[in-house]
């Protein structure tokens, strides 16, 4: 069989040019489907241009735009990698890449914001200044998503150091963007470090933890399919990288519709009341109750968790906490008592209690402490815990651990 080296060269060049232009699409369009589906189209178009229309002599001019822009973004990313830990999660999302360190080139103005991040040897957040992170052995463990990780806060204001100040040397295993099955993956990853009789608290966030069962199967497939791991990893990293580029943000800003002035709360017929963070929040929209898929997924997670811990002597707590919008809606009412506005938490608590865990909804605890102190438990213009909110969660956890602490003292 005779090989046409010219034809092979044209195809390789078409492949290269198509890849460059598909990458350019990723910087412009919001959906990752744009570069994925346009890739073979670009390859075909360039093959036609070079093979059929003899435009090979213009290939240098065609490459100027994508090469220049992509090279600029790569250079910018290398010089300023940023402090987002999301792109450094393991494939099963149980932990981060150990030893990762990055400085924030544009730190937020408030003093509580992180100036950099460090992932310790165990794959979880550590202090960038001292290198210290979680204890080697864990008598107390907290597992959750970005709320437990401490997104938006410098390390000294996160749960680990705050609990240490209160005499509780806890291991904090927070991974941003995770949901219940990921919490189970994290627990399995750190199980050998948790001491017999230890306390394990898993925090379920009402904002994004009530997911359908397909999310569980997707995680299982990604973890089990080793042949696809590398390809999926590259796709994930490219998606995270492109969304952090200057070009992507430029196109998003140009297409963004200016947000309207948010109205005052209309929950009760009183004069408009501002929440404690001095911003006018939009009217609270009551979430839909859990559907059958959500309930089945939550039951599935709790059943898997129960099976994993049943032969261990740990004290396991499932702690459900509210969204910032529900807390702010209550603050706008000037209600001395927390009013349940989100039906999903009550349903989740009922399901949890049927599987014999220590289950608790800490929404009322967070609200009452906020009203007494007249402070916002969340960051301004952000749904994550503020330093004050972190202290509330820490105080609640200390109260949970009192029996274990008293036993240890004796």
Whether residue 199 contacts residue 169, with contact meaning beta carbons closer than 8 Å, is answered with no
Q: Is the dihedral of CA 103, 389, 344, 340 positive or negative?
A: negative
- 3-class SS at 89? strand
Q: What contacts 109, CB < 8 A, 6 or more positions away?
A: none
Helix (H, G, I), strand (E, B) or coil at 197: strand
At 242-276, the pLDDT tens digits run 877 888 878 765 444 444 434 333 333 333 334 44
| Predicted local distance difference test score (pLDDT) of residue 113 | 77
Q: Where are the domains of the chain?
A: 5-79, 92-217+265-409
Average pLDDT, the chain: 82
Residues 53-110: pLDDT tens digits? Answer: 888 889 999 999 999 999 998 887 766 655 555 556 766 678 888 888 877 655 655 5
* Distance in angstroms (rounded) separating the CA atoms of residues 329 and 273: 10
Residue 264, pLDDT score: 37
Q: What is the pLDDT of residue 244?
A: 73
User: What is the pLDDT confidence band of residue 149, given thresholds at 50, 70 and 90?
Assistant: very high
User: Which residues, including other chains, have CB under 8 Å from residue 215's CB and lie 6 or more apart?
Assistant: 179, 181, 297
Confidence of residue 177 (pLDDT cuts 50, 70, 90): confident
Whole-number pLDDT of residue 266: 37
Percent of the chain scoring above 90 in pLDDT: 49
> Helix (H, G, I), strand (E, B), or coil: what is residue 199?
strand
Contacts of 319 (CB under 8 A, 6+ apart): 201, 202, 203, 204, 359, 360, 361, 362, 396
Element (H, E) at 318: strand 315-321
| pLDDT tens-place string over residues 308-323 | 999 999 999 999 999 9
92-217+265-409 sits in which CATH class? alpha beta
- Determine contact, residues 346/340, Cβ cutoff 8 Å: yes
Residue 258, burial from CB neighbour count under 10 angstroms (0-12, 13-18, 19+): exposed
Residue 311 per-residue DSSP state? T
**pLDDT for residue 236:** 59
pLDDT tens-place string over residues 341-371: 999 999 999 999 998 779 999 999 999 999 9
Give the global pTM. 0.71
Higher pLDDT, residue 193 or 381: 193
Question: Which pLDDT does position 174 carry in this prediction?
Answer: 95
Output phi, psi for 204, to 5 deg: -105, 120
CA distance 50 to 10: 7
CA angle 383, 150, 265 (to 5 degrees): 15
For residues 43 and 52, give the distance between their C-alpha atoms in angstroms, rounded to a whole number. Answer: 14
CA distance 248 to 238: 12
Rounded to an integer, the average pLDDT of 326-348 is 90
Flag whether pLDDT at 277 surpasses 60: no
Q: Please tell me the distance from the alpha carbon of residue 151 to that of residue 379, in angstroms, as a whole number.
A: 10
pLDDT over threshold 60, residue 217: no
The strand order across the sheet containing 358-361 reads 170-174, 138-144, 194-205, 315-321, 358-361
């Amino acid at each position: 069989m005779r090989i046409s080296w010219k034809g092979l060269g044209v195809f390789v060049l078409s492949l290269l040019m198509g890849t460059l232009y598909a990458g350019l699409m990723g910087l412009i369009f919001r959906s990752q489907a744009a570069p994925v589906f346009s890739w073979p189209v670009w390859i075909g178009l360039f093959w036609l241009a070079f093979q059929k229309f003899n435009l090979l002599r213009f290939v240098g001019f065609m490459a100027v735009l994508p090469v220049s822009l992509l090279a600029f973004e790569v250079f910018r990313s290398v010089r300023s990698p940023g402090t987002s830990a999301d792109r450094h999660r393991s494939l099963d999302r149980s932990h981060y890449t150990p030893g990762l360190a990055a400085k924030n080139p544009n730190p937020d103005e408030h003093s509580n914001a992180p100036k950099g991040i460090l992932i310790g040897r165990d794959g979880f957040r550590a202090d960038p200044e001292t290198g210290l992170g979680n204890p080697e052995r864990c008598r107390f463990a907290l597992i959750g998503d970005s709320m437990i990780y401490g997104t938006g806060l410098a390390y000294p204001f996160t749960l680990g150091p705050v609990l240490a100040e209160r005499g509780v040397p806890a291991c904090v295993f927070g991974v941003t963007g995770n949901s219940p099955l990921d919490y189970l993956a994290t627990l399995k990853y750190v199980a050998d470090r948790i001491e017999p009789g230890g306390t394990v608290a898993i925090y379920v966030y009402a904002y994004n933890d009530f997911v359908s069962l397909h999310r569980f199967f997707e995680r299982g497939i990604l973890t089990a399919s080793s042949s696809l791991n590398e390809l999926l990893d590259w796709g994930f990293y490219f998606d995270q990288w492109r969304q952090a580029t200057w070009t992507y943000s430029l196109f998003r800003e140009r297409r963004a519709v200016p947000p309207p002035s948010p109205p005052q709360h209309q929950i009760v017929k009183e004069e408009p009341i501002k929440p404690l963070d001095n911003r006018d929040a939009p009217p609270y929209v009551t979430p839909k109750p859990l559907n059958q898929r959500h309930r089945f997924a939550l039951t599935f997670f709790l059943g898997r968790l129960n099976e994993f811990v049943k032969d261990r002597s740990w004290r396991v707590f499932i702690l459900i906490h509210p969204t910032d919008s529900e807390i702010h809606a209550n603050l706008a009412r000037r209600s001395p008592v927390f009013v349940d506005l989100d039906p999903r938490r009550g349903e989740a608590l009922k399901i949890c209690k049927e599987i014999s865990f220590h289950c608790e909804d800490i929404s009322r605890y967070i609200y009452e402490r906020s009203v007494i102190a007249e402070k916002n438990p969340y960051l301004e213009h952000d749904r994550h815990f503020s330093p004050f909110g972190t202290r509330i969660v820490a105080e609640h956890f200390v109260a949970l651990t009192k029996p274990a602490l008293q036993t240890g003292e004796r």
